[in-house]
Amino acid sequence: MAVGIFDSGLGGLTVLSAVEARLPDLPLVYFGDNAHTPYGVRDADDIYDLTTRGVQALFDMGCDLVILACNTASAAALRRMQEGWVPQDKRVLGVFVPLIEALTERKWGDNSPPRPVAVEHVALFATPATVSSRAFQRELAFRAVGVDVEAQPCAGVVDAIEMGDMILADALVRSHVEALMRRMPKPEAAILGCTHYPLVEDVFRDALGEGVAVYSQPDLVAEALADYLARRPEFIGDGQGTRFVTTGDPASVSNKATQFLRRRIEFTAADI
């Protein structure tokens, strides 16, 4: 048994890397649905079908706890999965809540009514599907009032990162930041609502300028997972090391993953 990490492609490797650093002895299985990436331009039903197929594969591999290290899947599929699909003895968690808990300075399990928080103007950068779902705003409303969220759908950024074209990714990020700041000139905080975006976090920070607090997910998710497993140790598992599986071409995906993490990563083909 291990903890599963699911992503539509390679972005979830940023979460995996942070989890490995925070919990070095935790057995993990990483599933990348590279054959169908990106999810951010798909409709909600398509995202749900692909996500449940991938998560079921992780269940079949012995993962009783799965992290959706994909904001699009978390936004478009997680609630529907939790309400009627996830078996009682399994758990599927998303990546939005740790981010919002950090932004609102609320700890896990704080179910008190929503209240004003320190920030009032928040920029959200995410895929088109995540933005259109309004999942971030919905989760935020459970915890905070009086927060103005301006969302920017960042079309093309994930594709550029997956292709390894960081020059294009840089240009696209700057264009999207400029577009958002025409509508919200002075955000106090910026949410990088895609696990690919930490790979270009320095570009976001430079384009946003000083004085904007940037919230990126990997370390926040890793810390939240550590807290969860401290409370629910039965989900830790007794596997060994980390496995990497993909629906894409294993050799190509391995080479790209190696470039991202700067260490050799070997994917095998997913049996689905």
Question: Residue 110, exposed/middle/buried by CB under 10 A (0-12, 13-18, 19+)?
Answer: exposed
Residues 20 and 28 sit within 8 Å (Cβ to Cβ): yes
pLDDT score recorded for residue 109: 67
Domains and their CATH numbers in the chain: 2-94+218-269 (3.40.50.1860), 97-217 (3.40.50.1860)
- Residue by residue, pLDDT tens for the chain (272 residues) are 789 999 998 999 999 999 999 999 999 999 999 999 888 889 999 999 999 999 999 999 999 999 999 989 998 899 999 999 999 999 999 998 888 888 888 776 677 888 999 899 999 999 998 899 898 998 899 889 999 999 999 999 988 988 889 999 999 999 999 999 999 999 999 999 998 899 999 999 999 999 999 998 999 999 999 999 999 999 987 777 899 999 999 999 999 899 888 899 999 999 77
pLDDT score recorded for residue 106: 79
Residues 62 and 1 sit within 8 Å (Cβ to Cβ): yes
Q: Which of 57, 50, 56, 90 is nearest to 73 (CA)?
A: 50
**Burial letters for 86-100: b for 16+ Cβ neighbours within 10 Å, e otherwise?**
beeebbbbbbbbbbb
The angle subtended at Cα 267 by Cα 57 and Cα 97, nearest 5°, is: 55
Active site residues: 70, 194
- Cα–Cα distances (Å) from 133 to 72, 77, 129, 147, 153, in that order, read 9, 10, 6, 18, 11
What is the value of pTM for the model shown?
Answer: 0.89
Q: What is the CA radius of gyration of the chain?
A: 18
